[in-house]
Chains A and B, each alone.
Chain A
């Protein structure tokens, strides 16, 4: 089955700096890669996703890059703000009817004002 590894487990940055979180996956059949933000006690919320026919996607301060050959994808947050502080999860999903997602272990991002 799929195995997703996520690094780092914790990340602390100063407000205004950039944050980068990296994930690797093992199953070459995976072709959908969502990123979720989870605040304490809340549901995971999709912040950006990328499909395997695209190498990079950007939405304002958030971008995701995908390298299918190397089986890794990264989340980039620029101009970080204190409200970006949360746990971020990457996930990988195959293109099947089931849409099963395998999640990484999560990265706790702290943005210091």
Chain B
């Protein structure tokens, strides 16, 4: 069964550094999402992406965040200048179309900002 994949599984970075988290959505899916989950807390929506542009973003998704689909398979989340509070698990998800909202989550990238 096709799955969403994410790399790296873990990332440690220094405060102020830029990080890029990578995702490969399921191949025939058209809608892509990033969520984050701070340790022990709920999953929080960051951004959704369709047709090469952001569809919706939350208040968490400020100017330090950006997303990109650089080619036909990858979907990336860039954090420009990381802060301690960016430490979290970041999940990518994808869904086939807006009439079928079932989202399939990737395994996540655990980001630790020191």
Interface residues of A (CB under 8 A from B): 32, 34, 36, 42-46, 49, 89, 91, 93, 95-106
A100/B45 in contact, CB under 8 A:
yes
Per the bound structure, the CA–CA distance linking A36 and B35 in Å amounts to 14
Chain A: which residue is nearest B46 at the CB level? A100
- Identify B102's interface contact among A46, A95, A102, CB under 8 A: A46
Q: How many residues of B contact A (CB 8 A)?
A: 23
Please report the number of residue pairs spanning A and B whose Cβ atoms sit closer than 8 angstroms.
62
Contacting residues, chain B, for A36 (C-beta < 8 A): 43, 105
A98/B56 in contact, CB under 8 A:
yes
Give the dominant DSSP class at A's interface: loop
Per the bound structure, the CA–CA distance linking A103 and B55 in Å amounts to 19
Contact A46/B103 with A97-B31, A97-B50, A99-B98 known, Cβ cut-off 8 Å: yes
Does residue B75 face the partner (Cβ distance < 8 Å to A)? no
B43/A99 in contact, CB under 8 A:
no
Per the bound structure, the CA–CA distance linking A106 and B44 in Å amounts to 12
Which of A93, A96, A99 counts the most chain B CB atoms within 10 A?
Answer: A99
A98/B55 in contact, CB under 8 A:
yes
